[in-house]
C-alpha cells in the first residue's frame, strides 16, 4: 500500500479505540490525523458519577493530546466545519484544509431544544457534555449560597435523566449553608426509562421515590421560563434551574456537507459504517444512523462500533471488501443511584440492584478509561 491519509473527525467513543488499535498494530503507509475541537473528551458512562462528586474531571475525560502523541497521530485542534467530497478535503473552523483518502466522523450530537419555547435562554442542556460541565459548576456554586437555586428540575425520563436527577440529589445533600433541603423534580413524558425492562423501570421509580426526587409523570414540557416550566396539559412547576436531557439532533454543520442524512440530520450509513453514497466517508456513534438497522443513541453502541470501524478502515486502506457490523442489542445498562448503589438491566427480564452492582459499573468504567490513560506503544 502506498500512503493512505486517514482523517478522523471527533474524538468520540469509537475513534479513541481506532487510534489505540491502529497504534497497537499499525497499518503500513497509513498517516492518521485527528481533528478535534477539544483536547479532553468526556466519557458519558462516568458523567453521573462525576455529577455526584464521585469522579474528578480528569477521571471522566480521555486526554486526546496524550493519546495522539503516544499513538503517533497528528492532532489538529479545531472544529471541523466543511467537507468537499469532490476534492476529498476537510476544512476546519480555523481554515485548515486537510486532504483525505478516508474520512471518519464521530462527532456526537447537540440538543434539540426546538420543541420547547424558551429552552435556549432558560435551560441547561446536558449535551454537549463539556459545556454542561461548566454550567453545572456555576449552578453548584450558586446552590451553595443562601439565596441560590433550591428547586431544580431535570427534563427527560431516559436513563441519563434518571441518573442525573439522583446524582444531583446526592451532590446537593448538605450543600445549603442553612441546612435546607433541595427539591429535585424529574419531568418524564414518555414513561420512565421506557426502553428498559419492567424490573429496571420499577427499581428506578423506587430509587427516585426513596431519594426524594419528585417524578413529574406525563409532563411533556412545552415552555421553560425564568419562573419554571409548563407542560402541554398546562400544569406549571416553579423551578430555579432546569436541566434538559431529551431529544438530540446531529451537529448542524453536517447538513451543509451534502452527506445523506435522515430527518434528524444524522448521517445515514450502510452496515459497513460508510455513508450510503460515499465509500470514502465513514460515520459512527451518535452522529450517524445505520439506515437499514438503526440503534438507540447510546455510548455502548459507539464503543462497540470501534472494533468494526478499525477493521473496515484497514480493509479500505488495503483495497479489500468491507465487512458489515452487526450491533448486539442485548446490552447491559447500569444506572447509578448516587448512594453507592446501582440498578442493572439487560434484555426483557434481567434486573438486579445493589452496592455490588455499583462496584461492577465502577470497575467496567475505570477499566475502559485505563485503556487510554495508561496506553503506551
Ligand atoms: C448524563 C448522560 C449519561 C449517559 N450515560 C450513558 C451510559 O451509561 N451508557 C451509554 O451507553 N450511553 C450513555 N449516554 C449516552 C452517551 O453520552 C452517548 O451516546 C455517547 O457520548 C455517544 O458517543 P459518540 O462517540 O457518538 O460522541 P461523543 O462522546 O459525544 O464524542 C464526540 C466528540 O467529537 C467532538 N466534536 C464534536 N463536534 C466536533 C467538530 N465539529 N469537530 C471536531 N470534533 C468535534 C466532541 O468534542 C467529542 O469529543 C449518556 C448520556 C448522558 C447525557
pLDDT, tens only, 207-253: 999 999 999 999 999 999 999 999 999 999 999 999 999 878 999 99
What is the per-residue pLDDT across 74-90, written as a single tens digit (0 to 9) for each?
999 999 999 999 999 99
Determine the pLDDT at residue 282. 98
Check whether 125 has a pLDDT greater than 70.
Answer: yes
Do residues 117 and 224 lie in contact, with contact meaning Cβ atoms separated by under 8 Å? Answer: yes
Say if ligand 1 is within 6 A of residue 124 CB: no
Q: Once rounded to an integer, what is the mean pLDDT over residues 330-350?
A: 95
What is the pLDDT of the chain when averaged over all its residues? 95
Whether residue 33 is predicted with pLDDT greater than 80 in this model: the reply is yes
**Is 361 close to ligand 1, i.e. is its CB under 6 Å away?**
no
CATH 3.50.50.60 in the chain, residue ranges: 4-37+78-109+250-329, 111-247
Q: Within 10 Å of residue 350's Cβ, how many Cβ atoms?
A: 13
Q: What value does the mean pLDDT take over residues 169-192?
A: 91
Q: 128: cis peptide before it, omega within 30°?
A: yes
* Radius of gyration over every alpha carbon of the chain, rounded to an integer in angstroms: 21
- Mean pLDDT of all residues in 158-166: 97
**Cα of 66 from ligand 1 centre, angstroms:** 19
Closest-CA residue, ligand 1 atom 18, reads 299
What pLDDT does 8 receive? 98
pLDDT in tens, 35-53: 999 999 999 999 999 999 9
Percent of the chain having pLDDT more than 90?
90
Q: Would you say the CB of residue 79 lies under 6 angstroms from ligand 1?
A: yes
Choose the CATH number for 4-37+78-109+250-329 among 3.30.70.100, 3.50.50.60, 3.40.50.720, 3.40.50.10190: 3.50.50.60
Q: Are strands 151-155 and 241-244 parallel, antiparallel or unpaired?
A: parallel
Q: Are 203 and 343 in contact (CB under 8 A)?
A: yes
Q: Band of the pLDDT at 1, cuts 50, 70, 90?
A: low
pLDDT-based confidence at residue 190 (cuts at 50, 70, 90):
confident
Query: What ipTM did this prediction achieve?
Result: 0.97
Overall average pLDDT of the 163-180 stretch: 91
Q: Identify whether the C-beta of residue 99 lies closer than 8 Å to the C-beta of residue 92.
A: no
Using most ligand atoms within 8 A of CB, pick from 7, 9, 11, 12 the residue to mutate for ligand 1. Answer: 12
Round to whole Å and give the CA distance between 182 and 171: 10
Going by the DSSP 8-state scheme, the letter that residue 339 receives in this structure is S
DSSP category for residue 46:
G
Is the pLDDT score of 184 beyond 60? Answer: yes
Q: How many angstroms does the Cα of residue 299 sit away from the middle of ligand 1?
A: 7
CA-closest residue to ligand 1 atom 15: 298
- Does ligand 1 come within 6 angstroms of the Cβ of 9? yes
Cβ contacts of 370-375, under 8 Å, gap ≥ 24: 371/20, 372/16, 372/20, 372/62, 372/63, 372/67, 373/62, 373/63, 373/66, 375/20, 375/23, 375/67, 375/70, 375/71
Do 27 and 14 meet the contact criterion of CB atoms below 8 Å apart?
no
Residue nearest to atom 52 of ligand 1 (CA): 160
Question: Ligand 1 mean position to 216 CA, how many Å?
Answer: 27
- DSSP-derived letter for residue 365 is H
List CB contacts of 374: < 8 A, sequence separation 6 or more.
none
Q: Determine which helix (DSSP H) or strand (DSSP E) holds 83, and give its type and residue range.
A: strand 80-84
Predicted confidence band of residue 260 (pLDDT cuts 50, 70, 90): very high
Ligand 1, pocket-test mutation among 8, 10, 51, most atoms within 8 A of CB? 10
Buried b (16+ CB within 10 A) or exposed e, 319-329: eeebeebebee
The C-alpha atoms of residue 63 and residue 73 are separated, in whole angstroms, by 13
Q: CA–CA separation, 238 vs 229, rounded Å?
A: 6
- Return the number of other C-beta atoms located less than 10 Å from residue 118's C-beta: 17
63, 83, 98, 108: residue to mutate for ligand 1 pocket, most atoms within 8 A of CB:
108
Q: What is the DSSP string of 206-239?
A: HHHHHTTEEEETT--EEEE-SSEEEETTS-EEE-
Residue 2's pLDDT band (cuts 50, 70, 90): low
Q: Could you tell me the distance, in angstroms and rounded to a whole number, from the CA of residue 364 to the centre of ligand 1?
A: 18
- Quote the pLDDT of residue 105: 98
Cell of 100: 483525505
User: Under CATH, to which class is 111-247 assigned?
Assistant: alpha beta
Do residues 243 and 154 make contact, with C-beta atoms less than 8 angstroms apart? yes
Q: Which residue's CA is the closest to the ligand 1 atom numbered 30?
A: 108
Q: Is the CB of 286 under 6 A from ligand 1?
A: yes
Amino acid at each position: 500500500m502506498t500512503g493512505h491519509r486517514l482523517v478522523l473527525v471527533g474524538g468520540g467513543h469509537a475513534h479513541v479505540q481506532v487510534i489505540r488499535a491502529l497504534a497497537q498494530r499499525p497499518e503500513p503507509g497509513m498517516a492518521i490525523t485527528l481533528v478535534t475541537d477539544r483536547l479532553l473528551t468526556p466519557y458519558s458512562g462516568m458523567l453521573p458519577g462525576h455529577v455526584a462528586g464521585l469522579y474528578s474531571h480528569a477521571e471522566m475525560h480521555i486526554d486526546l493530546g496524550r493519546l495522539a502523541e503516544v499513538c503517533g497521530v497528528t492532532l489538529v485542534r479545531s472544529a471541523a466545519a466543511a467537507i468537499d467530497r469532490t476534492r476529498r478535503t476537510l476544512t476546519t473552523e480555523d481554515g485548515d484544509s486537510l486532504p483525505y483518502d478516508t474520512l471518519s466522523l464521530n462527532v456526537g450530537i447537540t440538543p434539540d431544544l426546538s420543541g420547547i419555547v424558551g429552552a435556549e435562554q432558560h435551560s441547561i442542556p446536558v449535551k454537549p457534555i463539556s459545556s454542561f460541565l461548566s454550567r453545572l459548576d456555576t449552578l453548584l456554586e450558586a446552590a451553595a449560597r443562601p439565596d441560590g437555586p433550591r428547586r431544580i428540575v431535570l427534563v427527560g425520563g431516559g436513563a441519563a435523566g434518571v441518573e442525573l436527577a439522583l446524582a444531583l440529589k446526592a451532590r446537593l445533600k448538605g450543600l445549603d449553608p442553612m441546612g435546607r433541603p433541595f427539591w429535585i423534580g424529574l419531568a418524564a413524558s414518555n414513561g420512565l426509562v421506557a426502553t428498559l425492562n419492567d424490573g429496571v423501570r420499577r427499581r428506578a421509580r423506587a430509587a427516585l421515590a426513596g431519594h426524594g426526587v419528585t417524578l413529574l409523570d406525563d409532563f411533556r414540557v412545552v415552555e421553560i421560563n425564568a419562573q419554571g416550566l409548563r407542560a402541554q396539559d398546562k400544569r406549571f412547576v416553579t423551578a430555579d434551574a432546569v436541566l434538559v436531557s431529551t431529544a438530540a439532533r446531529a451537529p448542524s454543520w453536517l447538513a451543509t456537507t451534502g452527506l445523506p442524512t435522515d430527518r434528524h440530520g444524522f448521517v445515514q450509513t450502510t452496515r459497513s459504517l460508510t455513508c450510503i453514497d460515499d465509500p470514502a466517508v465513514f460515520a459512527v456513534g451518535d452522529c450517524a444512523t445505520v439506515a437499514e438497522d438503526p440503534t438507540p443513541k447510546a455510548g455502548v453502541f459507539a464503543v462497540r462500533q470501534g472494533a468494526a470501524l478499525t477493521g473496515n478502515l484497514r480493509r479500505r486502506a488495503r483495497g479489500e471488501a468491507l465487512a458489515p457490523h452487526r450491533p448486539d442489542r442485548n446490552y447491559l445498562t447500569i444506572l447509578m443511584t448516587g448512594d453507592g448503589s446501582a440498578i442493572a438491566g439487560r434484555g426483557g427480564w434481567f434486573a438486579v440492584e445493589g452496592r455490588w452492582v455499583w462496584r461492577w459499573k465502577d470497575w467496567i468504567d475505570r477499566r475502559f478509561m485505563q485503556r487510554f490513560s495508561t496506553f503506551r506503544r
